[in-house]
């Protein structure tokens, strides 16, 4: 099991993503304070890890669902989902991702 906790920013919503590898499929459970991410999580329940990690074959299913449900293009939750899938599928090491935003 791999887990990603995403604090999305100024919206104040937190999303927890839990992934579990089941053969060639990665099961995805999304628990969020955000209604859009709740709807995404109702539909995105499993993915093929190899299709999620690259844009070269086709758009990752996570990003297709994000386009369908998430009104905010800069939302970091879809990337958090893909990172959890990568880690659970042994396609990446578990490491935190940080985006620091400021005005200069």
Residues paired with 30 in a beta bridge: 17
- 3 state SS of 92: coil
pLDDT-derived band at 56, boundaries 50, 70, 90: confident
The helices-and-strands tally (H runs, E runs) of the chain is 4, 4
pLDDT in tens, 40-49: 999 999 999 9
Is 2-88 in CATH node 3.90.1010?
A: yes
Q: What is the pTM (predicted TM-score) of this model?
A: 0.94
pLDDT given at position 57: 80
Mean pLDDT score of the chain:
95
How many Å apart are CA 30 and CA 70, to the nearest integer? 14
Closest CA to 82 of 14, 31, 30: 30
């Amino acid at each position: 099991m791999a887990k990603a906790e995403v604090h999305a920013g100024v919206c104040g919503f937190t999303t927890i993503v839990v992934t579990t590898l089941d053969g060639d499929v990665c099961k995805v459970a999304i628990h969020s304070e955000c209604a859009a991410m709740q709807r995404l999580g109702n539909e995105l329940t499993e993915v093929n890890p190899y299709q999620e990690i690259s844009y070269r074959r086709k758009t990752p299913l996570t990003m297709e669902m994000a386009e369908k449900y998430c009104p905010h293009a800069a939302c970091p939750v879809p990337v958090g989902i893909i990172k959890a899938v990568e880690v659970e599928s042994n396609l990446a090491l578990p490491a935190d991702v940080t985006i620091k935003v400021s005005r200069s």
